[in-house]
Amino acid sequence: MKHAIIFAHPGAESFTGSVAQAYAKACEAQGHVTVMRDLYRMSFNPCLKAGELPFANPFCPENDVMLERSLLKDCDVFAFVYPLWLNSPPAIIKGYLERVFGFGFAYGAGGHSYRPLLTGRKLISFSSSGAPANWLKETGALGAVQTLFDAYFAELCGLKALEHVHVGGVVPGASAEFINARLQDVQRKVAEHFGNQTGH
């Protein structure tokens, strides 16, 4: 299997960055292929262009979008790894979804907006927050993220949403034991979802 890891955090050495790396290593240990898209280090421009809107005339995604689509076109799994800020994913990842997973790549089969183009592929998400996970659940914030960025997005694109793994209480000074335990959780999730599937 081939996994695209879409990682969004300005700190390469952050907890989020460690999760992305742990996911990649766990997949590679299973014999799978990974493609890391580190949005901040790429300086990805999240601003949707007029020519990238559905039914734009002319419809003309820009070169950075076409490059991303060429890298992702044969991926079997899309893994999104990001923190929650103001109880939602960073703007850069929302822009990546709008531009790269937009019309003509993730949906729009036959020129119809709601016909998916990524059927048979899988989605898995890993998020983190400084706020405790229970608080996010009680306020509905986590459920909102899962509705918009997992369930709706997966349905639009034809993806199978496997799981959204969230870690709360990730604050400066978190113990090494806590961090290591969470990274082991990532490894277990990879084994659980992809351990019996061969790489290519």
**105-137: per-residue pLDDT in tens?**
999 988 777 799 999 999 999 999 999 999 999
Q: Which of 38-47, 139-148, 166-175, 186-195 has the lowest mean pLDDT?
A: 166-175
Domain of 49, in residue numbers: 2-194
In a domain, 199, yes or no: no
Closest residue by Cα to residue 72 from 157, 196, 148, 161: 157
In a domain, 172, yes or no: yes
Work out the average pLDDT over 42-71. Answer: 94
CA distance 181 to 175: 10
Question: What confidence score (pLDDT) does residue 54 get?
Answer: 84
In a domain, 189, yes or no: yes
Stronger pLDDT, 187 or 171, i.e. the higher one? 187
In a domain, 117, yes or no: yes
**57-105: per-residue pLDDT in tens?**
898 999 999 999 999 999 999 999 999 999 999 999 999 999 999 999 9
Question: What confidence score (pLDDT) does residue 174 get?
Answer: 83
Q: What percent of the chain has pLDDT over 90?
A: 86
Question: What confidence score (pLDDT) does residue 196 get?
Answer: 73
In a domain, 17, yes or no: yes
How far apart, in Å, are the Cα atoms of 170 and each of 21, 129, 200?
Answer: 17, 6, 35
pLDDT band at 198 (very low <50, low <70, confident <90, very high): low
* Number of structural domains the chain divides into: 1
pTM for this predicted structure:
0.94
In a domain, 200, yes or no: no
**Is 44 a residue whose pLDDT tops 70?**
yes
Could you identify the residue written with the tokens 């559905």? 54
In a domain, 149, yes or no: yes
In a domain, 185, yes or no: yes
CA distance 15 to 126: 11
**132-145: per-residue pLDDT in tens?**
999 999 999 999 99
Under 8 Å between Cβ of 58 and 68: no
Q: What is the CATH number of the domain that holds 104?
A: 3.40.50.360
Question: What confidence score (pLDDT) does residue 197 get?
Answer: 67
